[in-house]
């Protein structure tokens, strides 16, 4: 499983999510995550159809297929639950 | 010698005659005072109560000419003429003219005594009456009948005043609701209301994410600047410039409203604007549950980011500051559109409150301080910890709802009960 995180420096919600993800990543070292800046990586943002709200978290399976998309501020408990439930994907 | 004595006697007699005639004319002429008020204005009601129930009893010959200015444009124009003639700066009503003396506002304990002394002085020594010359010139220019229609000359009528006394007593009682708070002692709720409204509206306006993105851009760039002093200076310059844009806008709006006068339709217009803004906020709360940051104005954002980068990279600190100031002004002016509802409506509330002009500016500063509080928090945390922090957008929804309800309430009051927004 891999998580693509889309955010930006001007977005307070993205900044709020940064330390939450940092904690999750430290607690789950096996988890692959990638951060992409919405303004710097326009093409990728377009590819994943990110248009309205930031931050956006896209969960990909082993075949790089999207199986879940979350946007806005998400609490850590919910994220951990999702990650644990989809560990084997 | 006799000639000199004769001449001196003649001059003294002439002077005595001149001054006695002057004095007699002035005192004989004095009977009219001019009272400008607004319907629903609590201080006007208080002053009116004093004029009719106290002053008029002591001076039954007094004629009180009343002019309602909120809904009568001619009366308002007349007030402008009178204030120009007297050289008075009239920021609101009540406004009372006694001879060539005038009183702006009313505080029972202070103004009543001053009014009484002035009337006494005018009766005993005589007073000029510059207002009568304006009335005369108006009557010459206009149809006298029209003019009379707008002018109520009230003679003392004790029966009528007894009825009105109870009504005015209620208003007065409402203005002096006091609560006892331990340590702080007795506090007048009405005098707390305007600061409280200022703080609440300023803080809710501050939750508006529109103005935040530029500051976050700037901080992200400043964190890459090695010189600590430069980081702090440029950041503070941006925050002060942003606050200044708000201050200039709100002051200009306040003066615009005051310049237009206490015209009913402006108040109604602002009331409807508040209802629209409130309705929109509540609609957003109900239908837009997503938290997070809305993505808008991509190209504009990129341009600002590039210009900000250039300004910060500028070697000369002075030029960098200048660039930041220009950007802060440009960006905040544009972003004002998305939050103009709040400051404009708040300024309208300030305008209808009968407070000293400099108090209004202090209230604007208080509003801006609470508006900028979250920006200050983010900036200081970032500069101290060297890490960017965001303020959660989780509560944006609830602040939208509270803001919407406040705007709706203020809108309804501006339209139907403006006197409830005139705090004591």
pLDDT single digits (tens) B356-378: 788 899 999 999 999 999 889 98
Beta strands in B286-365 (DSSP E): 293-294
**Which of B290, B295, B393 is closest, CB to CB, to A12?**
B393
- Per-residue pLDDT at B147 exceeds 50: no
Among A5-19, B68-82, B163-177, B339-353, which stretch is predicted with the lowest mean pLDDT? B163-177
Between CA A28 and CA A38 the distance in angstroms is 25
Q: Higher pLDDT residue, B406 or B39? A: B406
Contacts of B214 in chain A (CB under 8 A): 10
For the residues B25-49, what does the mean pLDDT come to?
76
The alpha-carbon gap from B217 to the nearest alpha carbon of chain A, in Å, equals 5
The alpha-carbon gap from A53 to the nearest alpha carbon of chain B, in Å, equals 5
Q: Quick one: pLDDT band at residue B421, thresholds 50, 70, 90?
A: confident
Q: Higher pLDDT residue, B366 or B181? A: B366
The CATH architecture to which B31-170 belongs is 3-Layer(aba) Sandwich (3.40)
Mind listing the pLDDT tens digit for each residue in B406-420?
889 989 988 888 777
Q: Say if pTM beats, i.e. exceeds, 0.90.
A: no
Q: Higher pLDDT residue, B149 or B302? A: B302
For the residues B388-410, what does the mean pLDDT come to?
81
Contacts of A16 in chain B (CB under 8 A): 389-393
Parts of chain B belonging to CATH 3.40.30.10: 31-170
**Which of B293, B298, B302 is closest, CB to CB, to A12?**
B293
Mutate to test the interface with B, among A5, A6, A8, A9 (most CBs of B within 10 A): A9
For the residues A19-46, what does the mean pLDDT come to?
93
Between CA B350 and CA B158 the distance in angstroms is 36
Q: Quick one: pLDDT band at residue B24, thresholds 50, 70, 90?
A: very low
- Per-residue pLDDT at B392 exceeds 80: no
Element (H, E) at B66: strand B63-68
Residue with the two structure tokens 């096996």: A30
Q: Higher pLDDT residue, B273 or B164? A: B273
The alpha-carbon gap from B412 to the nearest alpha carbon of chain A, in Å, equals 34
Q: Output the pLDDT for position A67.
A: 93
Which among A62, A74, A89 is positioned nearest to B290, based on CA atoms?
A: A74
DSSP letters for B179-221: EEETTTEEEEHHHHHHHHHHHHHHHHHHT-GGGHHHHHHHHHH
- Per-residue pLDDT at B55 exceeds 70: yes
The alpha-carbon gap from B391 to the nearest alpha carbon of chain A, in Å, equals 6
- Assess: ipTM above 0.90: no
Which among B352, B309, B320, B141 is positioned nearest to B217, based on CA atoms?
A: B309
For the residues B2-22, what does the mean pLDDT come to?
53
Check if B87 contacts A (Cβ < 8 Å): no
Contacts of B220 in chain A (CB under 8 A): 9-10
Mind listing the pLDDT tens digit for each residue in B315-341?
899 999 999 999 989 888 777 776 657
Q: Output the pLDDT for position B166.
A: 41
Mind listing the pLDDT tens digit for each residue in B265-285?
788 888 998 999 889 888 888
Q: Output the pLDDT for position A47.
A: 93
Contacts of B394 in chain A (CB under 8 A): 73
Q: Output the pLDDT for position A7.
A: 93
- Per-residue pLDDT at B122 exceeds 60: yes
Q: Quick one: pLDDT band at residue B129, thresholds 50, 70, 90?
A: confident
Q: Quick one: pLDDT band at residue B238, thresholds 50, 70, 90?
A: very high
Between CA B350 and CA B358 the distance in angstroms is 12
The Cα angle at residue B12 between residues B7 and B18, in degrees rounded to 5: 125
- Cβ separation of B293 and A16 shorter than 8 Å? no
Which among B362, B422, B351, B423 is positioned nearest to B91, based on CA atoms?
A: B351
Contacts of A51 in chain B (CB under 8 A): 295
Mutate to test the interface with A, among B290, B292, B335 (most CBs of A within 10 A): B292
Asked whether B308 and B218 are in contact (CB, 8 A), the reply is yes
- Per-residue pLDDT at B174 exceeds 50: no
For the residues A16-42, what does the mean pLDDT come to?
93
Q: Output the pLDDT for position B162.
A: 34
Most confident residue range from A11-25, B23-37, B173-187: A11-25
The alpha-carbon gap from A3 to the nearest alpha carbon of chain B, in Å, equals 18
Residue B111: count other Cβ atoms within 10 Å of its Cβ.
19
Among B54-58, B138-142, B361-365, which stretch is predicted with the lowest mean pLDDT? B138-142
Residue B233 tokens read as 């200076």
**Which of A18, A51, A72 is closest, CB to CB, to B292?**
A72
Between CA B205 and CA B399 the distance in angstroms is 9
Distances in Å between the alpha carbon of B103 and those of B36, B86, B266, B357? 10, 11, 25, 15
With the C-alpha atoms ordered B413, B287, B216, B276, is the resulting torsion angle positive or negative?
negative
Mutate to test the interface with A, among B295, B335, B374 (most CBs of A within 10 A): B295
- Would you give the distance in Å from CA B12 to the centre of its chain? 53
For the residues B174-195, what does the mean pLDDT come to?
58
Q: Output the pLDDT for position B148.
A: 41
Q: Quick one: pLDDT band at residue B402, thresholds 50, 70, 90?
A: confident
State the average pLDDT for chain A. 91
Mind listing the pLDDT tens digit for each residue in B289-299?
667 777 777 77
Mutate to test the interface with A, among B291, B390, B391, B398 (most CBs of A within 10 A): B390
- Cβ separation of A11 and B216 shorter than 8 Å? yes
Residue B219 exposed, middle or buried by CB count within 10 Å (0-12, 13-18, 19+): buried
For the residues A2-30, what does the mean pLDDT come to?
92
Between CA B68 and CA B72 the distance in angstroms is 6
Distances in Å between the alpha carbon of B87 and those of B79, B82, B358? 12, 8, 18
- Per-residue pLDDT at B19 exceeds 60: no
Instruction: Quote the DSSP letter at residue B98.
Output: E
- Per-residue pLDDT at B26 exceeds 60: no
- Per-residue pLDDT at B143 exceeds 80: no
Contacts of B378 in chain A (CB under 8 A): 12
Contacts of B331 in chain A (CB under 8 A): none
Instruction: Quote the DSSP letter at residue A66.
Output: E
């Amino acid at each position: 499983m891999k998580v693509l995180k889309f955010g930006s420096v001007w977005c307070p919600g993205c900044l709020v999510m940064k330390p939450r993800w940092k904690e999750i990543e430290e607690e789950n070292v096996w988890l692959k995550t990638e951060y992409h800046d919405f303004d710097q990586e326009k093409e990728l943002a377009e590819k994943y159809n990110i248009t309205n709200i930031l931050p956006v978290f896209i969960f990909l399976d082993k075949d790089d297929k999207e199986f879940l998309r979350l946007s806005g501020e998400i609490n850590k408990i919910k994220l951990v639950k999702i990650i644990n439930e989809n560990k084997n994907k | 010698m006799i000639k000199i004595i004769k001449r001196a006697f003649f001059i003294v007699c002439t002077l005595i005659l001149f001054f006695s005639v002057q004095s007699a004319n002035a005192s004989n002429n004095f009977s009219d005072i001019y009272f400008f008020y607004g319907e629903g204005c609590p201080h006007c009601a208080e002053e009116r109560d004093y004029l009719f129930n106290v002053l008029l009893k002591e001076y039954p010959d007094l004629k009180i000419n009343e002019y309602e200015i909120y809904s009568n444009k001619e009366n308002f124009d007349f007030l402008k003429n009178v204030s120009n003639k007297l050289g008075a700066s009239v920021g609101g009503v009540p406004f009372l003219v006694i001879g060539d003396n005038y009183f702006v506002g009313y505080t029972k304990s202070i103004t009543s005594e001053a009014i009484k002394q002035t009337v006494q002085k005018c009766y005993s020594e005589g007073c000029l009456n510059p207002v009568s010359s304006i009335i005369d010139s108006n009557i010459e220019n206009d149809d006298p009948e029209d003019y009379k229609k707008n002018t109520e000359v009230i003679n003392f009528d004790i029966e009528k005043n007894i009825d009105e006394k109870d009504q005015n007593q209620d208003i007065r009682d409402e203005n002096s609701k006091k609560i006892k708070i331990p340590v702080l002692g007795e506090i007048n709720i009405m005098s707390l209301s305007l600061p409280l409204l200022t703080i609440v509206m300023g803080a809710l306006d501050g939750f508006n994410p529109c103005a935040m993105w530029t500051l976050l851009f700037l901080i992200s760039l400043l964190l890459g600047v090695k010189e600590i002093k430069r980081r702090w200076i440029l950041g503070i310059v941006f925050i002060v410039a942003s606050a200044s844009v708000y201050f200039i806008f709100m002051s200009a709006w306040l003066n615009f409203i005051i310049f237009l006068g206490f015209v009913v339709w402006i108040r109604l217009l602002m009331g409807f604007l508040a209802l629209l803004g409130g309705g929109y906020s509540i609609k957003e709360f109900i239908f837009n549950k997503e938290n997070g940051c809305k993505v808008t104005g991509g190209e504009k954002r990129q341009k600002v980011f590039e210009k900000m980068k250039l300004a910060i990279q500028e070697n000369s600190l002075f030029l960098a500051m200048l660039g930041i100031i220009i950007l802060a002004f440009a960006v905040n002016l544009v972003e004002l559109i998305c939050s103009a509802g709040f400051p404009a409506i708040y300024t309208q509330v300030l305008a209808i409150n009968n407070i000293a002009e400099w108090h209004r500016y202090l209230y604007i500063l208080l509003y801006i301080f609470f508006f900028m509080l979250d920006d200050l928090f983010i900036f200081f945390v970032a500069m101290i910890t060297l890490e960017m922090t965001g303020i959660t957008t989780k509560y944006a929804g609830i602040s939208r709802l509270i803001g919407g309800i406040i705007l709706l309430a203020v809108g309804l009051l501006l339209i139907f009960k403006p006197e409830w927004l005139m705090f004591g």
